[in-house]
Structure 1
């Protein structure tokens, strides 16, 4: 197995340290093995199930965070959460403090975090000491105090175990309302980072659909793949001693009072969610993937919308990382062969937060254009209206819209890592009104946020935005050629 990518969705490439880069390269040099063969009849017993729900596509990044705070403040009995990453920055500590306050009044709080970005965060372990708070870590590393250097060598030794990561994003309050989408917890996911922000989405759900997601959460929580954070990070056993958390929170509140003020202003100005009645079909991964690395989620997802895919006339695919499986874009090829119009919305080479993916995307762009795919690439200079700060920008939306009626919401990027390594989940929303809202959310600023990429009759590629036309990859110059060539030689694409 080759690698997990410690840089994708973690450290924006324009701001990463040399050490992080070197560790990423070390991880890319692991022993390469092909994706496992999928047995004939795999998942043939899977049965699609539909549930009734109400859905609200949260229309702005700041509201997506404010909704979480508001839900926590109104929680009565329980809060269950799963995230791939939870930063110790202003938003991460602010939300954790609100959860602690909820626990003070008797709410039972449970949080499952993947371990890729959990090192020796004592502020996290401090909160776990609260009698009403439980934090567990998924598939923990052995190295905890040596940063990325320790993680890189740990991975080299135990890569068959450590390559599987928990990628779900889940926020369930009182089993009455839940938020699903692509955002992790941190400043950059909600437009509050001065350095770099992600364009991402969240959807608030109520109704019968919450029950199967709660069951999925419980299965993970009770599994052997999660370990209490108290067994991994040691702090003073005195539950009143929260010095690490208190110091970190006070520091960030003093440094960024304008963010705290804006969050409260957003909460105070929010109206009731405009829910839409929808029918939804959930798709969950299997923890068996930790042993056999088979594409449970991907297969179940394709089976769930198999008829819609066969009949599709117009398909929008949104993913931050367009990576083929075994060098084949099978679903896209099937769609274009049946004359479906396929629109791809993704990162440009310059806006991608992965250092490695653009090296491969340079050739895949040509392949996709040859297939007739209409491509929109997110600008590295994009300025989203709902971001509090404007720095570098990265595209992080993961969704599919079929014939403006069926839409996907979830954690999977539908790339090889999501298919064979990560634990993912999501659901398909059957509703034209919701699909229209989602399409507008993605592309309402199409003219200013994206390059429209086309292939001319002579084969040349052009990038167009309003009156601007470029014949070369925007802000991605010749200085990338050598590192891109080196990354391709590492043959690590299936793990990106």
Structure 2
């Protein structure tokens, strides 16, 4: 998710606030020392992994795991919506807390305003909610956030982008999904095509250590210090009102979730070796690319010898104008496939303006591009509205795969706090490739240059010479956005 996501219900206001935010954001990336992170050494762990094959099952597994929890639930998310799924999962978490399960939830503050329904849950004696790098403005909506950001950009720019779900230190879900209807195919307006992987085994331990490090850092503030509700732990009026309204209005969603829990197949585990990579909270001070550098070191041998690479990211943005990893791969003769959003399907306000130029560069480098259609209909979504691509993964030579929170952009490299892991398994890579491409003809445009050097978009027998559903009316705003020179913040 980018910092500047389009608000579907207030698009004009979101655009104005995004411009105000971006206008103060032309912060150059810092110079990276030649020996930066030279002492980093990867560690391998054993695990079992299961790629959750359907969006509804990704949510159903979370509910099922919470219902089975015996001692602890630790979670980190960039966003947690107060919609049907967000409130339903909180309700299950509250029930687990009633059973004595200790619950901790870390949330980034960008999309947390004065959400009293969330603060209500924090009052439970077995629940603690902390907010990462909070804004000063809480009750003035995006207008307050935009002006707050203008004044305190250096402090507020860093966001926590991890997505982490740990039950009893026995099971862990990693991937690209936040918590909300649109991440699991249950939004009537728009949904994300995304990925979650369920893990068990030794690899959970280092993620738990990373969580503890963050939980006790100065960057997390208890939600009770930010959002004030009555102290009576039995008075959860805001949560109850929101939950009852959502579940009554969307009873069909609740019924489908329960049906999915009762009918989804058992996990088909794959034995894997994994190499986790974590960011450093020092990034909050110096903006250096700890995660990116550590990730490249972790797979430096695989990158140096790669013959094939699949790079999947919702936002493809170069660092200082250079696609360094892709350039390295293509120069050594590797076949590179890029799977990303089309300009029309992108949920970002600004990235398409830059991608319109970068598409040509990538094609000239020999990259095979697959762009997600803005008309795509994923067969595992309960509702079908607009769709956006949100998968974040890499597959090298059908043997090594990446699962995590990081996008392929400067914001993930230099600003956001990220994590992920590399999975060493041909069987896992095969399952992941199938997950991405099983619906290729219905989900993607294959983009290439013809003999005349013109860009073409092809899907089955259909060939287009112009950008699908992204017409000339975008040229002026795209030109304006590029002139704002805020690509380092995307």
Q: Give the TM bin, normalised by the shorter chain.
A: over 0.9
Q: What is the CA deviation profile of residues 366-407 of structure 1, one whole-angstrom value per residue up to 9, with x for unaligned ones?
A: 000000000000000000010000000000000000000000
- The answer to whether residue 271 in structure 2 is matched with residue 274 in structure 1 is no
User: Which of residues 240, 243, 246 is equivalent to 1:246?
Assistant: 240
Query: In the alignment, what sits opposite 1:60?
Result: 54
Q: Structure 2: state its 5+ residue gaps.
A: none
Query: In the alignment, what sits opposite 2:66?
Result: 72
User: Which of residues 17, 32, 36 is equivalent to 1:38?
Assistant: 32
Query: In the alignment, what sits opposite 2:165?
Result: 171
Please, what TM-score do these two structures have when normalized by structure 1? 0.98
1:341/1:16 CA distance change after superposition, 3 Å: farther
Query: In the alignment, what sits opposite 1:476?
Result: 470
User: In the TM superposition, what is the alpha-carbon distance from 1:414 to its structure 2 partner?
Assistant: 2.5
The separation in 2 between residues aligned to 1:32 and 1:327, in whole angstroms, is 14
Following superposition of structure 1 onto structure 2, how do residues 151-170 of structure 1 map, counting pairs within 5 Å? 151-170=145-164
The separation in 2 between residues aligned to 1:52 and 1:494, in whole angstroms, is 36
User: In the TM superposition, what is the alpha-carbon distance from 1:6 to its structure 2 partner?
Assistant: 4.1
User: Which of residues 14, 18, 25 is equivalent to 1:20?
Assistant: 14
User: Which of residues 199, 215, 232 is equivalent to 2:209?
Assistant: 215
For the Cα contact (< 8 Å) 2:174–2:196, is it kept in 1? yes
The separation in 1 between residues aligned to 2:488 and 2:362, in whole angstroms, is 18
- The answer to whether residue 421 in structure 2 is matched with residue 424 in structure 1 is no
After superposition, the CA RMSD in angstroms is: 0.9
User: Which of residues 130, 134, 137 is equivalent to 1:136?
Assistant: 130
User: Which of residues 100, 110, 113 is equivalent to 1:106?
Assistant: 100
Q: What is the CA deviation profile of residues 166-220 of structure 1, one whole-angstrom value per residue up to 9, with x for unaligned ones?
A: 0000000000000000000000000000000000000000000000000000000
Query: In the alignment, what sits opposite 1:319?
Result: 313
The separation in 2 between residues aligned to 1:31 and 1:244, in whole angstroms, is 36
User: In the TM superposition, what is the alpha-carbon distance from 1:16 to its structure 2 partner?
Assistant: 3.9
1:6/1:330 CA distance change after superposition, 3 Å: closer
User: In the TM superposition, what is the alpha-carbon distance from 1:338 to its structure 2 partner?
Assistant: 0.3
For the Cα contact (< 8 Å) 2:72–2:101, is it kept in 1? yes
The separation in 1 between residues aligned to 2:152 and 2:141, in whole angstroms, is 16
- The answer to whether residue 202 in structure 2 is matched with residue 205 in structure 1 is no
For the Cα contact (< 8 Å) 1:181–1:409, is it kept in 2? yes
The separation in 2 between residues aligned to 1:78 and 1:129, in whole angstroms, is 17
The separation in 1 between residues aligned to 2:350 and 2:327, in whole angstroms, is 24
Q: Structure 1: state its 5+ residue gaps.
A: none
Please, what TM-score do these two structures have when normalized by structure 2? 0.99
The separation in 2 between residues aligned to 1:242 and 1:352, in whole angstroms, is 38
The separation in 2 between residues aligned to 1:80 and 1:11, in whole angstroms, is 29
Query: In the alignment, what sits opposite 1:11?
Result: 7
Q: What is the CA deviation profile of residues 112-169 of structure 1, one whole-angstrom value per residue up to 9, with x for unaligned ones?
A: 0000000000000000000000000000000000000000000000000000000000
Question: Which consecutive aligned stretches of 4+ in structure 1 deviate over 2 angstroms post-superposition?
Answer: 4-8
The separation in 1 between residues aligned to 2:410 and 2:379, in whole angstroms, is 32
User: Which of residues 432, 442, 445 is equivalent to 1:438?
Assistant: 432
Following superposition of structure 1 onto structure 2, how do residues 76-475 of structure 1 map, counting pairs within 5 Å? 76-475=70-469
